[in-house]
Amino acid sequence: MKIEYIRQLQTSYMRIELKSGLGRTEEEMLSHNKIHGILPVGWQREDEKILLRYDITGKVALDALLEEKKADAVLLEQLLSGICSAVRQLEKFLLCPEGILLCPEAVFCDYKTGEVFFCYFPEEEVSFTERLQRFMEYLLTKTDHKNKEAVDLAYGLYEELLTPAYSLCDIQSFLQERRSPKIEDIKTEEEPAAVQREETVRIIREEEILSRMSPDGWFETIKRSAYEKMSAWINTREWKKIKRKRPGSRQLTFEIEEGEKQEEFATELLSERHEEENRILKYEGTDVLPDLLITRFPFLIGSAADCDGVIKSSGISRHHARMILKDGVYFIEDLNSTNGTTVEGGLLTYKTKVSLKKGAIVCFANQPYRFL
């Protein structure tokens, strides 16, 4: 399935080729109704092809969102609740629920409202059940494994999906139970033994679920989990004790001959090596806005406080654009902002990275900057 992105003034579209076309009922329902949780879609003919065109203005694809952060419990619940709601809406408008496209590139989130939107694409060959399981396996690899609530929710949902003859009502019930506080969850300080037993049960449960996952999902989750657990262990006191010299161990020393000058070595932190690589986006507009000093990569630009380069202007989206450094080359991409990003006058389409040369003019909406 080939996905294309198109930018027209202040509107962004995602296009997918449709081989067999839409039925009459589908055309009527999609043309005359606004379906909650489903992206507005139109269609056009181009070189004997039928292309579905989804309006994705101001929204960010799930795969791009999870490049910036890992999935927490709130996002996981929004995604699964959104799927259940979208299925009900499609049934209400006499459309087949099997038409929901469950791939990270075709699931979109609205930064402002937090809503989740899906694409209606009636030519999926794989069953909805299998697609939902694959989608959940993808989310397992993107879940924040340091967040116990997120891990419990992700593995619990996946376990529900592996149950024979499950239904979306079961998923909704599971999510509702997670929201409802239970008496046993309101606890005083637990004894260490009880905490250890709970952790052991959780690990066994995770291993059982992972053993039933597809090879790709299993490998990615194990690799990510092992890396995070090792990183956490390295920072513990036990590791520091091991690093100390053990009794009876042999230490190698090197004698410096007389007259030989000993070289001095300075310790350099990796985080400090970017100092000479710092670049500036120098503001060249008429408003009173600061220059943006680029000190790290990826470098997120927008109006939100969590951005690396904050531009307080009415036309700037919360997460407007992003810069990366790859093999010594600087790239910039628009994050599907409302008013767009241009480089030397050329409007960027979503998920298109353009290299930047020194002196290039970059406009975020109507605010111009020079890359130095």
> Tens digits of per-residue pLDDT, 117-128?
999 988 777 788
pLDDT higher for 123 or 180?
A: 123
Whether 157 shows a pLDDT value over 80: the answer reads yes
pLDDT higher for 225 or 287?
A: 287
CA-based nearest residue to 124, from 91, 90, 101: 101
Q: Which of 136-150, 268-282, 285-299 has the lowest mean pLDDT?
A: 268-282
**CA dihedral in degrees (241, 242, 243, 246; nearest 10)?**
100
Whether 255 shows a pLDDT value over 50: the answer reads no
- Place 293 in a pLDDT band, splitting at 50, 70 and 90: very high
pLDDT higher for 360 or 248?
A: 360
Which residues 6+ apart lie within 8 Å of 216 measured at CB? 137
Q: Residue 140 and residue 174: Cα distance in Å, rounded? A: 17
pLDDT on residue 371: 97
Cβ contact 136:143 at 8 Å: no
- Place 218 in a pLDDT band, splitting at 50, 70 and 90: very low
Q: Which of 116-130, 180-194, 298-312 has the lowest mean pLDDT?
A: 180-194
Give me the long-range contacts of 26-33 (CB less than 8 A, separation at least 24).
26/95, 26/122, 29/93, 29/94, 29/95, 30/95, 30/120, 33/93
pLDDT on residue 363: 97
pLDDT on residue 231: 55
Query: 């120098």: which residue's tokens?
Result: 282
Q: What's the chain's length in residues?
A: 372
Beta-carbon-side half-sphere exposure of residue 41 (alpha carbons within 13 Å): 28
Q: Give mean pLDDT, residues 184-206.
A: 57
Query: Domain residues of the chain, as ranges?
Result: 276-371
Q: Residue 253 and residue 248: Cα distance in Å, rounded? A: 15
- Place 211 in a pLDDT band, splitting at 50, 70 and 90: low
Take residue 33 and report the two structure tokens written for it: 């109704």
Q: Give mean pLDDT, residues 267-280.
A: 55
- Place 48 in a pLDDT band, splitting at 50, 70 and 90: confident
Amino acid at 72: D
Q: H or E element: which one contains 65?
A: helix 62-68
> What is the DSSP secondary structure assignment for residue 236, as one 8-state letter?
S
pLDDT higher for 119 or 221?
A: 119
Residue-wise over 108-137: b if at least 16 C-beta within 10 A, else e? bbebeeeebbbbbbbbbeeebeebbbbbbb
Whether 248 shows a pLDDT value over 60: the answer reads no
pLDDT higher for 46 or 202?
A: 46
Assign 3-state DSSP to the chain and report helix, strand, coil percentages, each to 5: 35, 25, 40
Collapse the DSSP code of 171 into the 3-class scheme (helix H, G, I; strand E, B; otherwise coil) and give the result: helix
Q: Which of 166-180, 291-305, 327-341 has the lowest mean pLDDT?
A: 166-180
pLDDT higher for 209 or 4?
A: 4
Whether 78 shows a pLDDT value over 60: the answer reads yes
Q: Residue 291 and residue 96: Cα distance in Å, rounded? A: 51
pLDDT on residue 277: 63
Tell me if the domain spanning 276-371 has CATH number 3.40.630.30.
no
> What is the DSSP secondary structure assignment for residue 262, as one 8-state letter?
P
Does the model's pTM come out above 0.85?
no
Take residue 143 and report the two structure tokens written for it: 């879940």
Whether 186 shows a pLDDT value over 50: the answer reads no
Q: State the chain's mean pLDDT as an integer.
A: 80
Beta-carbon-side half-sphere exposure of residue 128 (alpha carbons within 13 Å): 15
- Place 257 in a pLDDT band, splitting at 50, 70 and 90: very low
Q: Residue 137 and residue 41: Cα distance in Å, rounded? A: 28
Whether 250 shows a pLDDT value over 50: the answer reads no
Question: Phi, psi (5° rounding) for residue 192?
Answer: -55, -40
Collapse the DSSP code of 206 into the 3-class scheme (helix H, G, I; strand E, B; otherwise coil) and give the result: helix
Q: Give mean pLDDT, residues 328-357.
A: 93
